[in-house]
Amino acid sequence: MYKEISAADIPGNVIDMISREWMLITAGGREAYNMMTASWGFMGEIWGEHSVSVFVRPQRYTMEFIDKNDYFSLSFYGDNKAIHKVCGSMSGREVNKTELAGLTPNFCEKAPYFCEARLVLICKKQYAAPMEEKYFTDKAPLKKWYNGDLHINIIGKIEKVLIKNGL
C-alpha cells in the first residue's frame, strides 16, 4: 500500500501541501490517540536532520498526546477536505473523530496515522516550546491571529516518509 521514500524526495510543493492541502497531526498509541487539522508548519533541515516544525495551541486535545509521546505523524489527503472539516472543527474529547471522518487507523509505526493518507511523515519530537509575545519583532501577527493563546512550536525529526504506491 505504501512505499518508503527519503524526505528529500517528497514530491510536490511543500508550501502548498501544508497551507492549501492541509494535514493531520496525530499523536498517541493504540490505547488512545488524537488528531487535528493543521495548515501552519515548515519542512526543511535543522540540526543536520530533515525536520518539520508544527504549531499547536496548548488547549488542543492533540497537544496532550504530543506532550506524552516521543513521536507524532503528519498525514496528507490531497483534496479530501471532508476529513479536515471533522478533524479541524470537533474535539476528540467529545466525539470519535476517527469514525466521523471515516478514517482507518494504522499503528504499525511509532505514531498512529490513517490508511487513507496519500503521504505520511513519522516524526520524532525533538523540541517543544511555547511562543512568547516578547519575541515577536513584528506585532502584526499577534493582532491578527492571537488573543493571548499563542501556539506551541514543535520540531520533529522526520524518521520515515511513506507514500501511497502509484503516486
Look at residue 96 and tell me whether its pLDDT is greater than 70: yes
Condensed to tens digits (0 to 9), the pLDDT of residues 140-164 reads 999 999 998 999 999 999 999 999 9
Long-range contacts of 79-88 (CB under 8 A, 24+ apart): 79/21, 80/116, 81/22, 83/24, 83/37, 83/116, 84/22, 84/24, 84/37, 87/24, 87/35, 87/36, 87/37, 88/22, 88/36, 88/37
Q: What's the CATH fold of domain 2-164?
A: Pnp Oxidase; Chain A (2.30.110)
Q: Parse the chain into domains and list their residue ranges.
A: 2-164
Q: Is the pTM of this model over 0.85?
A: yes
Condensed to tens digits (0 to 9), the pLDDT of residues 33-81 reads 999 999 999 999 999 999 999 999 999 999 999 999 999 999 999 988 9
Condensed to tens digits (0 to 9), the pLDDT of residues 18-30 reads 999 999 999 999 9
Lowest mean pLDDT among 54-63, 88-97, 135-144: 88-97
Confidence of residue 167 (pLDDT cuts 50, 70, 90): low
SS3 state at 42: strand
Condensed to tens digits (0 to 9), the pLDDT of residues 106-118 reads 998 899 999 999 9
Other Cβ atoms less than 10 A from the Cβ of 123: the count is 27
